[in-house]
Amino acid sequence: MDIKLIEDRIASYNPKSKNDEINAFKEIAQEIALFGLSRGNLFKYAAFQGGTCLRIVYGLPRFSEDLDFILFTPNQNFAWQPFFNELKLEFEAFGLHLIAIDRSRADNIVKRAFLKEDSFSQILKLSYTRSKSDIQSIKIKLEIDTSPPSGSIFEAKIIDFPTPFSIVAQDLSSLFAGKLHYLLCRKFIKGRDWYDFIWYVIRKTQVNFIFLTHAIFQLGPYSGVNLKIGKVWLIDNLKKIIADIDWKVAAEDVAPFITSQEQSSLQLWSKDFFMRYVDMLDQYIEDEAVN
């Protein structure tokens, strides 16, 4: 592999700022990591999920940080270590230096590892001059759910960079359900989740209520509660949450992950703005209430 392949790919993003450029490189590093994981046969056992999946596989406009996965069947003994050699080889093919560290514990349901690349600023010819105070390394967190909620739907996908390769990903209805689980159950607010919510609703994405129900009952404040999870419950609880959010703080969270051209759209974020999208969701979503 030629380092110019990465430089040309960064240029294809047409970055308008230093932040845009570093986001572009990080996403390219994520794709190289996915290629290494594919070569290491991860997708025989697991599927790609989360915000980065939504970005790389389905075209979400915002950048994302981590690579999240879900096992097809529970396996508390899963370990990231066997994949490290393949990951390092793929980065070395571009002349990049990868450090991989497994941070999982035996009792963790979510197994974590961290990837760090710290040579790009010396190797790549970038459009924006970087100083010593700028980011000198990019970090990618790997996470995999080893005890996943049931009900997810998976589909095969092709990724084109660095060369065409196959993965398995959650389908959009399951990804939306996972995002709604975060919105409804997360103890803190992430503006990135609400940005994604708008994206799903604009595309009239259906909700995998079976996966959402199992996720809600497995983890969060509703665990063990007898609820009928369906359209009415979902809409009602989204509106309650939206009414209590500090939308300025939420917008500040997502700002580093969107392009310079899109920043002005964050000025629209407010309670009424998001209530509009909940009403849109209410109009098109199919009710599949699950006890």
Question: What whole-number distance in Å separates Cα of residue 76 and Cα of residue 78?
Answer: 6
Asked whether residue 273 carries a pLDDT value surpassing 90, the answer given is: yes
| Span 12-40, average pLDDT | 95
| Span 180-204, average pLDDT | 95
Structure confidence at residue 97 (pLDDT)? 93
Whole-model pTM: value is 0.93
The band of 185, judged by pLDDT with boundaries at 50, 70 and 90, is very high
Structure confidence at residue 290 (pLDDT)? 57
Asked whether residue 120 carries a pLDDT value surpassing 90, the answer given is: no
Question: What whole-number distance in Å separates Cα of residue 208 and Cα of residue 164?
Answer: 29
Buried b (16+ CB within 10 A) or exposed e, 198-211: bbbbeeebbbbbbb
Summarised one tens digit per residue, pLDDT across range 54-82 is 999 999 999 999 999 999 999 999 999 99
- In order of 92, 116, 226, 254, the CA distances from 11 in angstroms are 21, 22, 52, 23
**Which of 1-5, 19-23, 81-85 is predicted with the least confidence, judged by mean pLDDT?**
1-5
Summarised one tens digit per residue, pLDDT across range 195-238 is 999 999 999 999 999 999 999 998 778 877 778 899 999 999 99
Asked whether residue 129 carries a pLDDT value surpassing 60, the answer given is: yes
The band of 261, judged by pLDDT with boundaries at 50, 70 and 90, is confident
Question: What whole-number distance in Å separates Cα of residue 212 and Cα of residue 197?
Answer: 15
The band of 291, judged by pLDDT with boundaries at 50, 70 and 90, is low
Fold observed for domain 3-170: Nuclear Transport Factor 2; Chain: A, (3.10.450)
Every domain of the chain and the residues it spans: 3-170, 174-284
Residues 6+ apart with CB under 8 A from 276: none
Structure confidence at residue 130 (pLDDT)? 79
| Span 122-151, average pLDDT | 89
Structure confidence at residue 106 (pLDDT)? 76
Q: Is 106 exposed, middle or buried (0-12, 13-18, 19+ CB in 10 A)?
A: exposed
Asked whether residue 109 carries a pLDDT value surpassing 90, the answer given is: yes
Structure confidence at residue 225 (pLDDT)? 77
Question: What whole-number distance in Å separates Cα of residue 219 and Cα of residue 148?
Answer: 10
| Span 264-269, average pLDDT | 96
For residue 141, the cross-strand partners are: 114
Structure confidence at residue 44 (pLDDT)? 98
Share of the chain above pLDDT 70, in %: 98
Q: Is 75 exposed, middle or buried (0-12, 13-18, 19+ CB in 10 A)?
A: middle
Q: Which amino acid is at 276?
A: R
